[in-house]
A = this chain, B = another copy of it.
């Protein structure tokens, strides 16, 4: 079977969604943005040997790729709409493509996003790029700028789990319930779409935590022209993380990366309302610190003292040399 036929067979099962005038199979997809809405777009790449281990099941790659990409839409408080893929595969292998396409179609349906186009090429290194397109009411996109001194730093979910899940893959042992849950956190990010949309009117600024809390918070501080202090004692740590990796839990929560939780700037008088809304949606939302006028990012240890010389996050070129 040739490229055209294989791709067609695997991906034409993807559903046609709202606003798709012409989907897969033409030179371009033709899409209808509803009146009063703005388009938000983001592109993300996963590379074998850098973001995942060689031999990873294709279905896990599909959920990882899509979760990470759609998380950027959540970070903008947007509603997912359309997806395009650029896949570079070592071989045109149905054993890989079929389970990948099936898992992708299922996860895309769950997240409300429609595959509308793509490009598949051969290449030595398995490389997967996803561009996501979302919609947001005119002027309502959540951005990194806009935090104010005195705003609280809220984070959704728990932090450090994804890094812990990776660790259990790097140093495999028997996979108990905790390790399976941590691996799920790595392979199946849950974009906080509902949370972001519901909280949007109460938020000053926000982003998703892909590079690690400290690194991403630094982006937010740079964009907003502020400093901040984070309290380690307040970091939301999952029971599984604390049980399996008690010694690394705090460091990974600060700098582990790829948690795909939200980091939000909220006025102090809105914190309680935000937390009540989050509770209603079943998502923890934890106050971990404060935005401040004084520049720089400070981290207060569990003993109340400021920590020094922290690694600020994930940098592909430094970390994976």
- What residues of chain A have their CB less than 8 Å away from a CB belonging to chain B? 2-4, 6, 21-22, 25-33, 35, 38-51, 72-73, 75-76, 78, 82, 84-86, 88, 91-92, 116-125, 127, 129, 131, 133-134, 136, 141, 143-144, 207-208, 223, 315-318, 320
Contact = CB atoms under 8 A, between A and B. Distances in A.
A50 B86 contact: no
Contacts of A39: 30-33, 39
B84 A141 contact: no
A2 B48 CA distance: 21
A125 B125 contact: yes
B124 A51 contact: no
Contacts of A318: 2-3
B43 A223 contact: no
A29 B40 CA distance: 5
Given A27-B208, A40-B28, A315-B3, A50 B122 contact: yes
B315 A27 contact: no
* Pairs A-B, 8 closest by C-beta atoms: A92-B317, A47-B123, A27-B75, A28-B40, A125-B125, A86-B129, A122-B316, A33-B33
A73 B28 contact: yes
Nearest to A139: B21
16 contacts: A2-B318, A3-B316, A6-B317, A25-B144, A27-B207, A28-B76, A29-B42, A30-B76, A32-B38, A41-B117, A42-B117, A43-B118, A51-B121, A88-B125, A123-B125, A124-B125
A47 B121 contact: yes
Nearest to A206: B27
A38 B21 contact: yes
Given A31-B38, A44-B119, A223-B25, A86 B86 contact: yes
A41 B129 contact: no
Contact of A27 (B76, B84, B131): B76
A46 B119 CA distance: 10
A2 to B, nearest CB: 5
Contacts of A49: 123-124
Given A43-B117, A47-B121, A131 B131 contact: yes
Contact of A30 (B22, B25, B38, B86): B38
B121 A26 contact: no
Contacts of A40: 28-31
A315 to B, nearest CB: 5
A143 B315 contact: no
A78 B33 CA distance: 16
A38 B82 CA distance: 14
A149 to B, nearest CB: 21
Contacts of A86: 43-45, 86, 129, 131
